[in-house]
A and B are shown apart, each in its own frame.
Chain A
Amino acid sequence: MARTAVSGRLAWRVARLAEIRDETPTARTLVFDLPGWPGHLAGQHVDVRLTAADGYRAQRSYSLAAPANGDRVELTIQRVADGEVSEHLTGPYAIGDPIEIRGPIGGWFAWHPQNPEPVLLIAGGSGIVPLMAMIRARRAAGVRTPFKLIYSLRTPAEQYYADELRTPVAGLDITYVYTRELPEGRPGIPRRIDVATLNTAAWPAEFGATTFICGPTAFVETAADILLALGHDPHQIRTERFGPSRD
């Protein structure tokens, strides 16, 4: 297990919103100017802190959506119904507004461009965010590490980064799984990720791929269980989960 160098207290830094890109009707990418940012690995996250005029604070963790790029940091925020922080960040939060950010945090669910092993990315819904940072890091580093992405989403309209992912990239295979509604003209019926999906679209177990799975708990449990059943090494599978559990 690699030790990530952390020196001293993680400092809160003041960031300002520089750019907004709407991804879906309920999710937006926020690009911040964050002077003094030390850089990060794809897959790491940050803590974000909002302070109200009366001093009340709310803090949440968000995955970084893009690799390190100087003082620019990107997050993609999905609006959660009644989400105290996400409702502000996907609503009234405007260009030039300040926010506090600290990080980077987490050195486990992270991909280093110098890693030669093939990579399998499995995203459920907004779980695509840290995985997209890895795809972008691969491109930014100019490496040819073979990547496969399996992206499960309810409907085509809920896809993040649609234009960017539509552009073919050598060495990046993408498989979409739609659970509620298929794109127009695509044959078949909506279904969830299953043994057939992973048997067909994932790397064979013996390739020793590093696998990153991010999504709702039940989705991550299902995908990881199937990979284990297909013979994948549990130590090569890294997971990040969000949302409620099944029970």
Chain B
Amino acid sequence: MGVVTPGFQGRARSGNPRLPPGQYLAEDFPVLSAGPTPRVRTETWEFAVTTEKGDKHTWSWAELMALPSEKPTVDIHCVTQWSKLDTRWRGVAIDTLVGGLDTEADYVLVHSYGGYTTNLPLADLLDGQAWIAYEYDGKPLTPEHGGPARLLVPHLYFWKSAKWVRGLELKTRDEPGFWENVGYHDYGDPWREQRYQGD
């Protein structure tokens, strides 16, 4: 137990088993980004998966739309302490995009329009755990929430769910992304409160 602050009682304990430690429920949908919101047109949008050998596979917006989609309903958790339950998305599973590729990569560096990057183990994007999402709550994803398409990896802190996603770079070695380079945790498990390096 930490140092007790006299008189602090806190709010009624929610005891919600779906809330990771230290998180509170948000009713709205806060926005966090490091710079201006890129306005990405679907006419010129392109998504690329590059393997560690340099093989590049690309999808246009029309090609992405033609792939089988899924409608995950998931809880999301931001490192700034808010969580949002039962968020409804539509998108293409990462399995669908990288499933057939010849790769021995263990890591992924995600690239976004605007220059943002974030890193994850490839295993965390597979087996129905992650999507390229293009709808939220039944509507096209708005630019401030990462539209036209963002990565959705609900089991990790939400900075891993890169907005304005433009590609996945498969790698045999882990390489930190944007926030990971300035001290945020390499993995980011909300249930273990992995906020910063060393947590």
Residue numbers of A with Cβ under 8 A of B are: 1-4, 6, 8-10, 12, 14, 47, 49-53, 55-61, 84, 88, 92-94, 97-100, 105-109, 217, 221, 224-225, 227-228, 234-235, 237-239, 241-247
* Residue of A10, A14, A60, A239 touching B33 (CB-CB under 8 A): A239
Interface flag for B68 (CB, 8 Å): no
Say which one of B85-93, B101-109, B178-186 lies at the interface with A.
B178-186
Bound state CA distance, A6 and B182, in angstroms?
A: 8
Bound state CA distance, A107 and B197, in angstroms?
A: 13
Task: Give the chain A neighbours of B28 by CB distance below 8 A.
Answer: 244-245
Taking the closest CB of chain A, its distance from the CB of B150, in whole angstroms, is 14
Bound state CA distance, A93 and B4, in angstroms?
A: 12
Interface flag for B44 (CB, 8 Å): no
Task: Give the chain B neighbours of A105 by CB distance below 8 A.
Answer: 183, 196
* Residue of A59, A107, A109 touching B81 (CB-CB under 8 A): A59
Query: Given that A51-B3, A224-B36 are known contacts, is A246 also in contact with B144, CB under 8 Å in the complex?
Result: yes
What count of chain B residues pass the 8 Å CB interface test? 42
Task: Give the chain A neighbours of B183 by CB distance below 8 A.
Answer: 4, 6, 10, 105-107
Task: Give the chain A neighbours of B17 by CB distance below 8 A.
Answer: none
Q: Judging by beta carbons under 8 Å apart, are B35 and A239 in contact?
A: yes
* Residue of B3, B31, B145 touching A241 (CB-CB under 8 A): B31
Q: Judging by beta carbons under 8 Å apart, are A228 and B36 in contact?
A: yes
| Residue-wise interface mask of B (1-31) relative to A, using a CB-CB cutoff of 8 A (1 in contact, 0 not) | 1111111111101000000001010001111
Bound state CA distance, A241 and B33, in angstroms?
A: 7
